[in-house]
Chains A and B, each alone.
Chain A
């Protein structure tokens, strides 16, 4: 969903629920969502490993976070 549409809907819903105080927090969240979506989360962003990384390939994807 487009962030602007999401924000407008969320603010309207919060107001309908008597939570107008949420609006500034929702606006901050929208900024954070823009940052999340725009950060370029791809493996090309993976750094060299420490000081001696030139020859170290990026580790394989780790699907298990824990």
Chain B
């Protein structure tokens, strides 16, 4: 280990904490020092829990000294996206609409992390109510990408990704309704897992679109994502090292959907993805071309599902406190009130078709492999970006390759695959069978060392 300890993975840190070679308090204080040094510029956190995090770390250190070890998360500093309830702490959703709110209870996912020994270091900044992909429409100031602070970290879980990259927390918990875990993971160079729909409870998490919402881990490695997934899923007994045996990349059959998914790609992203596929083949993975014929229709289906579901949740506040929203988020929520019920139902029927098409593409494959984001992190505030010589809308580009799998509920993970010439990270997305997030994690763990350059 050459980097400071708080930049290492849970897999590396857990045995050191368990053996009391490092203390949770020292690890926690190191993360707090990074927050003090960098967060004024990056805006990754809305609430920093300095005193309670140190107190929690001390208690966990004392437990270890007394011979009680809760498992690999024992004493590890973790941040929560500020949509997720932690008892006694505000859940702002990055909005003035929620001013004065303090959570009375832990969300189930928070309670599971607490029981596993996580130290809660703070609540991370996000796109207001998770209703956006750039983390700049927020009541707490735009989140900035540590690789280039003039650029977005992606979103909506932008603060979570920034916290991991900068050593402000070892891991984070995000939410993903159209890509909000995977998008910032790709834009910042971290790992982000959207589990299969319904596996991880969303109770105690401010909803965006209930039929599309997912909670999942954002980490520095696939193994760490796997561990946190087991904890979030409530499978505490399984959350033990070593994790299940990794598969060999030589055993993998990977489906590559090209039509639509490779049609509009930044040149550097295209090169990174092509190199990753080549390395995977060179390492022995078999790749086969597959098709998802209606993928190009996913954006319309997503819009007619997410907009009315979000508007339904926000209807009361849109009447009573409309001026407390940021302008763009308020307008998009209002837009949802105009979607016709007949089109929402059409979108539901279309989701069933998309689900079958993704299932069919996965038939005989361990995972689908495709880019996570078609572009690198965009400049903050940009409405359009140039992609291969044509102006493209940022919002549509950010969601283009991820939203399909929220509509279908398939598990999906983004892993880093290197940088553009300008030093901006790119991500590779792997999509697994609907009922088997662990098989996806096994495939991703096999691919990870091959594609990380």
Contacts and interface: CB of A to CB of B under 8 A. Distances in A.
Contacts of B353: 41-43, 45-46
B382 interface: no
A28 B360 CA distance: 31
B291 to A, nearest CB: 5
Contacts of B409: 65-66
B283 interface: no
B11 interface: no
B356 A62 contact: yes
Interface in A24-65: 25-26, 29, 32-33, 35-37, 39, 41-43, 45-53, 56, 58-59, 61-63, 65
Nearest to B288: A51
Contacts of B198: 66
Contacts, number: 125
B314 to A, nearest CB: 14
A50 to B, nearest CB: 4
A62 B338 CA distance: 28
Interface in B318-357: 327, 331-332, 334-335, 338-340, 342-343, 346-353, 355-357
Interface residues of A, number: 37
A26 B307 CA distance: 12
A22 to B, nearest CB: 6
A8 to B, nearest CB: 12
19 contacts: A6-B338, A13-B338, A14-B334, A25-B331, A29-B338, A32-B300, A33-B340, A36-B301, A36-B350, A41-B349, A43-B356, A46-B357, A48-B360, A50-B362, A51-B288, A52-B364, A53-B363, A56-B360, A65-B409
Interface in B413-448: none
B131 interface: no
Contacts of B342: 1
Contact of A53 (B294, B356, B360): B360
A45 B353 CA distance: 8
A47 B361 contact: yes
Interface of A: 1, 6, 10, 13-14, 19, 21-22, 25-26, 29, 32-33, 35-37, 39, 41-43, 45-53, 56, 58-59, 61-63, 65-66
Contacts of B327: 21
A1 B340 contact: yes
Contacts of A49: 359-361, 363-364
A33 B226 CA distance: 39
Interface residues of B, number: 47
A65 B364 contact: no
A56 B334 CA distance: 44
Given A21-B331, A50-B362, A56-B360, A45 B294 contact: yes
A43 B360 CA distance: 12
A26 B335 contact: yes
Contacts of A65: 197, 211, 348, 351-352, 355, 409
A37 B362 CA distance: 27
B343 A50 contact: no
A37 B361 CA distance: 24
Given A36-B304, A45-B357, A53-B360, 12 more contacts: A14-B338, A22-B331, A22-B335, A25-B331, A32-B299, A36-B297, A36-B300, A41-B350, A42-B353, A45-B293, A47-B293, A65-B197
Nearest to B302: A32
Nearest to A9: B338
B162 interface: no
Interface string B254-295: 010000000000000000000000000000000011111110
Contacts of A25: 331-332, 335
